[in-house]
Every structure is written in C-alpha cells, then in structure tokens.
C-alpha cells in the first residue's frame, strides 16, 4: 500500500477574488500636459510619405516643440528630418503614437504664412509638401541660429495675414527708419512718370493698396533702367510701412537690383537670397527677414518663399525666363508662386520685363492684372531704330542679305556706330564652332567613342576637334555614313564670330561674353562686344548699336515657345541700346515672321495677344493646363489606367503614351478643372507607390519645355 498523503489545510478565499490585478504604472515617456500631439511633415522623396504624421510630445520637449521648428522623427524604422506643422489636443490616427524624436533647433523657421503657401504650391504642381519645404526653408546653419538665439531675436511669426491684409485706404504701420525718404516716391528715378498708369500704380501702392500690374520696361541702362524702376516701386511699398520681395532670374540681375535698392533705401538692410552665396549667408538673411530685422529681399527663384513680414509687394522680373523654373520636383515656376502669394496675402504684384509673356497677357485680358506701359509717342523717342534685313527694302538693296550671316547693312551700321560708342553683337551659341558635319554628305559629325557631337574648340592659335560629351579629341575623323574625312562648320559660336569681326574691323577692340566668361558690365570706350543670348553686358551709357545675329537659329528651336523666347531675348538686348534720337540702331538678321515684326514695331504686348489667341484656338498652354507622366512604358500605362476617374473630367484629353527613353503621356485639362485634376493625379501616384505594384513615374505639371 502506498502511504496516505497529508490532508491539505483549507484556504480562506480572498475578499478581492475575481477583480483584475492593478496595472503597473506606464514606463514610457510622459505626454505633455497641453496639446500633446505634434503633426509633422517629413522630408522624403517617397510619394507614400507625402502626408502629415502625428507624434507624441513628451514633457521634456513640450517647451521646445512649437510649430515651425525642425524635428527628428522615426517613420517605418528610419529617422527623418521634418517640420512641426501644428500642435493638437488629440490624434485621429487610431494608433498608439510614437514619441517625437528630437527638436533640432529651437527657432521656428517655418512661418505659418509660408507653410500655407507651401501647401498651395504642392497642390498646384501635384507635388509633395516636403519637396516644397526644401526650397521654402534654407538648410540649417547651426552657428547662425546660435547667434540669433544668443541675441534673443524674436523669430516667432504671427498667424498668416491672408484674411486681414491691408486694403486700399486702410491704416498701416509707420515706415522703417531706412524708409524715411520713401514718402515721396517721385523723388526716386525709374521712369514711372512716362508710363501709362505708372504714377497711379505708385500712388495706390504708397497709400497701402495692393494693385496688380504687368510692367513693360523700356530702358536697360542708365538712371531709368529697369532696376531703378523696380526700386521705385519697392520704395513706394516701404513708404506704407510694408515689406517687399523681388525675384530675378540670375545672379547678374540680382546684383543690379540689389545695388539699386541700396541706393533707393539708404540705411535699410536689403537681404540678398541666392544659393551661390553659401548656406551661412543665406540662412542669416532668411532669419533677418523672419525676425523682422529686414523688410526687403531680392533673390533668385527660391526667394519666392522668403518670409518677409507685413508683405506689401512682390515683383517678378522677366517672368518669361526659363531660369524661373525649378528643375527639381515639384518643378514650380517663381512667377506662379508669387501669383499664389499675392492671392493668399492680398499684397501688390508686379510682373515686369521688356517683353510680355503669354501667361501674363492672359491675366491682363482676364482683368486680374492691369497694364503699365509707355505710350507709342514715348516709345518712339525712347527706343532705338530697329531694322530687319529680311524686309523688302533691305532685300532690294542687298539680295544676299537673307543668307549672309553679317549682311552689308549690319556691317555698315556697326562701322558707323563704332565711331560714337560700343556695338553689341548677339549670337546664338557659345564656343568656337559648336556643331560640325561631314564635308561630303553633311551628316552630323559624331564621336567614335560615345557617338556624341563633335565640336571645334579654340586653344590659343590651334583648333581642336573634340567630343562635346566625353571631351575626347578627334585626330582622324572618318564619317560613319560615307567615309568622308573632311569636316564643315554648321554653326558658328561666339569665339569664332569674334575672330571674324576682328578681321572685318581691324583695329577695333573685340570683347566676348559667353560660357564661363560672362561679363556684367562693359568698361572703356568703343568696342565690339560679342555675347551669347542672355549674357550681354551693360554699357553704362548704352550701346551705339546692336547686331542680332543667328535670329533664324533661335526661331528654329523645336519648341512651342520659340518665337516668344526669341522676341524676349531680342528685346532684352535692344533695350541696352541708346534711343533713336541719340543715333541708336538695332539690326536683326532673321526671316520674316511675327516675332521679327513685333521687334521692329516694339510691340511685345501685341505679339503676346496674338500668340494667346492662337493657343486658345489650338487648346494649348496657357489656354489650358498640361501634365506630363514619364517613366517606363508599362508604368505609364498602369498610371493612366489607374487614373481613369480623373481623366474622365470634362475637357480632359490624353496624348500618348509615346515610346521613348523614357515613355511619356501628356494630359491636357481646362484651367477651371486644374485643382481637381492635379489633386487626383497626385493621389493616383501616391496610391501606386504605396502598393508598390509597378515602377515609379514622374509627374510634371505646366512645365514650359513639354511642348
């Protein structure tokens, strides 16, 4: 038998039996007592991350985590830098929130007004908010931020003034100390008194109003040059106690406008915003604007997002220049950003240039912009006399004028003008001979290594044939088509032109401005100045004459905008020439066409109006909007299939996709349907990227180079 087990003692049941055990106190970070949720936009190129994420604000970061600061967060296990957009009392995400990683800087560098503008830009171009903020806020310069933090400068920006912007007749704050001389804008040079509606525009602006206009500038040099015209408008805005922002295409224009603004507003800080100035200089200027230490800024396209306080005026110079287009996502145009900003804040707007873009003309015809331009009687006295070698009179005098690169009329004008001043010679291409062909069959000459185009370069007195792609010298050319050994020049560059003019005008000083050796200003007396389009230096007293060569090369560009772009380039060069009353002459060598006729008449607005009417008839931009979907053919087709609901909007039509590297499809849609279509296309791109069902596609909206 087995031994009997001892009997267990009875156990008294607990009075708490059946109740759950108390949970241990939470071991994680304690949330902030007020508004514990931070909504963050992360900087990432992935479309699926283009949405705000909610994070928990801990007690340790409560004071530093204010809207506008840079933060570090984790998304899908990886650390990302982003901007804190707002603080909320609760989150609607439905998941447990991860804590905010870190606050990288205590300075709120993203102003509410700029955050609102960035959202509008992202929606306008179907892009990601993070990509826009990369341009809106310059890279962090820790040393500069530490200086501002040590000084205790207030960079906290008030709420967006979109709903309480100054209106005509409203009371405004007093002008800054540097603007004490701004009350009388007529004291500042600029030529506004000779422009129709010019004086009224300045009076409206100085009274605190917000007029919007297209300005056709006349002069490119002297005291009435366009930089002084813009400076006078800025002075009027400052006299009402408001700030101003000027956006220009390139650094040469930036330096001219900056100098004019410093002369017009003595003693006032003028901030210059350009990526070429380096991160520290750009960050310091950005923080000065953000803190209110400066109220006037001038810069290139990225400056369209400058956080100018109490903004009263935005100016875009030469809005047709393609340098205003950002080549990276979301591919915005500075002019359109300023249009959005003017609508958002209620500030004044000025689109200025020697030419008038078709987009600006559409806004004038709609009544959204007013025209400020010189009367015909003023133009006849202020601009040079323009002669086309293709007209009937010149053709009768010189039957070879249509085919000669330097017709007799152009040579004679240059010879006479050199006696009284410098002569500008505008050419289409830089280099010596940038394009070569086989001398026997005329086939374009190609590199035997990479199949790139061959070009002739000048190296001292030697002429070298090299590949423009890989730079490999070609010492023994042999045509791949016919086996020919000789080469012929199919295009002449600035250096070759300068060499030929030096022989045609012995004893004359020849100056070149092209490529990497662009000159901003001309020094000395009479000279032949050979410059590529857009690289013309400014003569302090104006050029005595200008020869606009290679006009047909500009007009033959495979672009819908080739005539518009050619006219813009010609007008910019012709504006540097003295008036006809002072003997100024301009000779254009190009075939007959609307652009040439508009230059002879000096009628950029009329040309833009005719181009706009033609685009409306053909349903082409800017009469409609356009989006390009590019990528592998299968991916573009998958995108279009997924976007069928979007493409079903009334008036939407699709061209393509067309095979290529990459393949491309164009989507045309009405302006009125723009927000719905761009929002829908962006949503399709995000959805496909999140599902990872195919390769990536690029979405570009309203890019001028698509047609």
The CA–CA distances, whole Å, from 1 to 4, 5, 7, 314, 483 equal: 9, 12, 18, 106, 116
Tally of CB atoms within 10 A around 237:
32
Joined together, the tokens standing for residue 264 give: 């017009």
Please name which of 543, 565, 518, 578 lies closest in space to residue 425, comparing C-alpha atoms.
543
Tokens 């390139």 found at = 250
DSSP 3-state helix, strand, coil percentages of the chain (rounded to 5)? 35, 20, 45
Joined together, the tokens standing for residue 68 give: 């506008």
Is the peptide bond prior to 662 cis by the omega test (within 30 degrees of 0)?
Answer: yes
DSSP state of 584: -
Distance from C-alpha of 299 to C-alpha of 281, rounded to nearest angstrom? 13
Tally of CB atoms within 10 A around 18:
7
Q: What is the dihedral of CA 374, 377, 383, 387, to 10 degrees?
A: 130
Q: What is the dihedral of CA 199, 203, 204, 205, to 10 degrees?
A: 100
Distance from C-alpha of 404 to C-alpha of 399, rounded to nearest angstrom? 10
Tokens 């200027």 found at = 285
Beta-bridge mates of residue 313: 244, 348
DSSP state of 173: P
User: CA Rg, the chain, in Å?
Assistant: 31
The angle at the Cα of 671, spanning 696 to 247, to the nearest 5 degrees, equals 80
Give just the sign of the alpha carbon dihedral 52, 670, 366, 257: positive
Q: Mapping DSSP to helix (H, G, I), strand (E, B) and coil, where does residue 185 land?
A: helix
Say how far residue 439 (Cα) sits from the centre of its chain.
42
Joined together, the tokens standing for residue 397 give: 């005098």
Residue pair 454/434 in contact by the 8 Å Cβ criterion: no
Helices and strands in the chain, H and E counts: 20, 27
Joined together, the tokens standing for residue 123 give: 């929606």
Please name which of 620, 703, 635, 696 lies closest in space to residue 46, comparing C-alpha atoms.
696
Please name which of 619, 618, 617 lies closest in space to residue 669, comparing C-alpha atoms.
619
Q: Mapping DSSP to helix (H, G, I), strand (E, B) and coil, where does residue 449 land?
A: coil
Tokens 């960079």 found at = 155
Distance from C-alpha of 437 to C-alpha of 2, rounded to nearest angstrom? 114
Task: Find out whether 479 is annotated in a ligand binding site.
Answer: yes
Task: Find out whether 347 is annotated in a ligand binding site.
Answer: no
Task: Find out whether 316 is annotated in a ligand binding site.
Answer: no
- Write out the DSSP string of 332-398: -BHHHHHHHHHHHH--EEEEEESS--HHHHHHHHHTSSEEEEE-HHHHHHHS-EEEETTSHHHHHH-
Binding residues for Zn(2+): 438, 441, 447, 450, 467, 470, 479, 482
Binding residues: 438, 441, 447, 450, 467, 470, 479, 482
């Amino acid at each position: 038998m087995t031994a009997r087990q001892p009997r267990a003692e009875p156990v008294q049941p607990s009075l708490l039996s059946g109740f759950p055990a108390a949970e241990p106190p939470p071991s994680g970070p304690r949330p902030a007592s007020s508004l514990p949720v931070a909504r963050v936009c992360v900087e990432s190129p992935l479309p699926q991350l283009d949405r705000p994420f909610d994070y928990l604000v801990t007690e340790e970061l409560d004071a530093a985590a204010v809207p506008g600061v840079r933060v570090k967060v984790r998304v899908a296990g990886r650390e990302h830098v982003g901007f804190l957009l707002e603080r909320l009392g609760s989150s609607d995400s439905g998941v447990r929130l991860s804590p905010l990683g870190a606050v990288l800087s205590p300075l709120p560098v993203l102003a509410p007004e700029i955050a609102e503008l960035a959202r509008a830009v992202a929606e306008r171009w179907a892009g990601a908010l993070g990509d826009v903020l990369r341009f809106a806020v310059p890279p962090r310069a820790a040393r500069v931020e530490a200086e501002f933090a040590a000084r205790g400068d207030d960079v906290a920006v008030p709420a967006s003034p979109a709903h309480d912007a100054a209106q005509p007749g409203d009371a405004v704050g007093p002008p800054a100390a540097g603007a004490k001389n701004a009350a009388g804008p007529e004291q500042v040079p600029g030529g506004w008194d000779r422009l129709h509606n010019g004086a009224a525009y300045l009076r409206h602006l100085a009274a605190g109003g917000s007029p919007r206009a297209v300005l056709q500038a006349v002069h490119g040099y002297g005291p009435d040059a366009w930089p002084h015209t813009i400076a006078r408008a800025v002075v009027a805005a400052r006299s009402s106690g408001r700030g101003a922002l000027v956006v220009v295409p390139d650094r040469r224009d930036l330096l001219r406008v900056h100098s004019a603004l410093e002369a017009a507003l003595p003693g006032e800080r003028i901030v210059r915003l350009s990526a070429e100035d380096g991160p520290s200089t750009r960050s310091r200027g950005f923080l000065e604007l953000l803190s209110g230490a400066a109220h006037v800024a001038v810069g290139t396209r990225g400056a369209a997002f400058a956080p100018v306080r109490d903004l009263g005026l935005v100016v875009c110079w030469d809005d047709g220049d393609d340098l205003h287009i950002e080549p990276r996502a979301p591919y915005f145009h500075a002019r359109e950003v300023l249009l959005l900003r003017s609508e958002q804040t209620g500030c004044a707007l000025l689109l200025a240039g020697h030419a008038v873009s078709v987009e600006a003309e559409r806004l004038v015809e709609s009544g959204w912009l007013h025209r400020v331009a010189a009367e015909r009687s003023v133009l006849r006295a202020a601009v040079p006399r323009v002669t086309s070698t293709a007209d009937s009179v010149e053709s009768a005098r010189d039957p070879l004028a249509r085919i000669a690169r330097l017709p007799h009329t152009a040579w004679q004008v240059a010879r006479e003008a050199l006696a009284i001043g410098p002569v500008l010679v505008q050419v289409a291409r830089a280099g010596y001979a940038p394009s070569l062909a086989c001398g026997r069959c005329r086939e374009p000459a190609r590199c035997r290594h990479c199949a790139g185009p061959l070009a002739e370069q000048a190296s001292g007195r030697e002429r070298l044939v090299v590949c423009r792609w890989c730079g490999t010298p070609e010492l023994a050319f042999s045509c791949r088509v016919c086996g020919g050994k000789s080469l012929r020049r199919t295009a002449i560059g600035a250096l070759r032109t300068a060499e030929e003019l030096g022989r045609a005008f012995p004893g004359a000083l020849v100056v070149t401005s092209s490529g990497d050796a662009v000159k901003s200003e001309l020094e000395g007396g009479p000279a032949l100045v050979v410059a590529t389009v857009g690289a013309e230096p400014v003569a302090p007293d104006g050029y005595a004459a200008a020869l606009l060569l290679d006009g047909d090369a500009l007009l033959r560009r495979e672009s819908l905008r080739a005539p518009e772009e050619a006219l813009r380039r010609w007008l910019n060069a012709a504006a540097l020439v003295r008036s006809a009353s002072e003997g100024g002459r301009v000779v254009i060598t190009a075939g007959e066409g609307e652009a040439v006729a508009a230059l002879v008449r000096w009628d950029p607005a009329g040309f833009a109006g005719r181009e706009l009417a033609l685009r409306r008839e053909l349903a082409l931009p800017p009469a409609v909007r356009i989006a390009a979907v590019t990528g592998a053919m299968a991916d573009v087709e998958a995108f279009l299939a997924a976007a069928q609901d979007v493409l079903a909007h009334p008036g939407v039509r699709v061209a393509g996709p067309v095979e290529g590297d990459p393949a491309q499809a164009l989507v045309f849609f009405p302006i009125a349907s723009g927000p719905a279509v761009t929002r829908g296309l962006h949503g399709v791109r995000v959805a496909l990227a999140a599902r990872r069902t195919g390769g990536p596609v690029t979405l570009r909206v309203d890019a001028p180079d698509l047609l």
